[in-house]
Amino acid sequence: MPKKPGNKNTSLESTDNQTEDLVASVIENPEVLSRVLETPTVQAIVLKHFQGPVPPPAMLKEYDDIIPGLANRLVELTEKEQAHRHRTESDSIKIATRGQVMAFCVVLIVIVTAILFGLHGNTVLAGILVGIDLAALVTAFIAGKYYSGKATTDENA
């Protein structure tokens, strides 16, 4: 078969030629084979894995060896990210608490208004106010449970 440039067979033929040359040299000089067999080589594949925001100290040292100061920058970045996460969670708790306080105030105002209407003889209007208030509260709790459960399900997906 003629050899053409870019033909894949050329590399295979080259490998075959190298193998034949090695076999011939081992046959001519058996000491080469005994030396190869006396000094075995060990190959290992190392897989490093870590979990968490900061790599283990040995890996940080390797980073620092490549780019001086990189380990320090990585730790600072992790600390800033954690502080940001804490601020965000704290802010969301404050917002939720503020919403609950405002809802309590609205309910309290509606109930006081209903009591005042009831004391002045408008019992039907007082009943309607209390009924609407109660329906709104039940709806808010049901919707809150629904959306809270949906958010948890979405996070797990």
Domain count, the chain: 1
pTM, rounded to two decimals:
0.50
Residue 135 lies in a domain: yes
Q: What are the tens digits of pLDDT across the range 34-78?
A: 777 787 777 788 888 888 888 899 889 999 999 999 999 999 999
Residue 115 lies in a domain: yes
Residue 15 lies in a domain: no
What domain range includes position 84? 49-152
Residue 6 lies in a domain: no
Q: What are the tens digits of pLDDT across the range 2-12?
A: 444 444 456 66
| DSSP per residue, the chain | ----TT-THHHHHHHHHHHHHHHHHHHH-HHHHHHHHHS------------SSS--HHHHHHHHHHSTTHHHHHHHHHHHHHHHHHHHHHHHHHHHHHHHHHHHHHHHHHHHHHHHHHHTT-HHHHHHHHHHHHHHHHHHHHHHHHHHHHHHHHHH-
Residue 127 lies in a domain: yes
Residue 114 lies in a domain: yes
Residue 29 lies in a domain: no
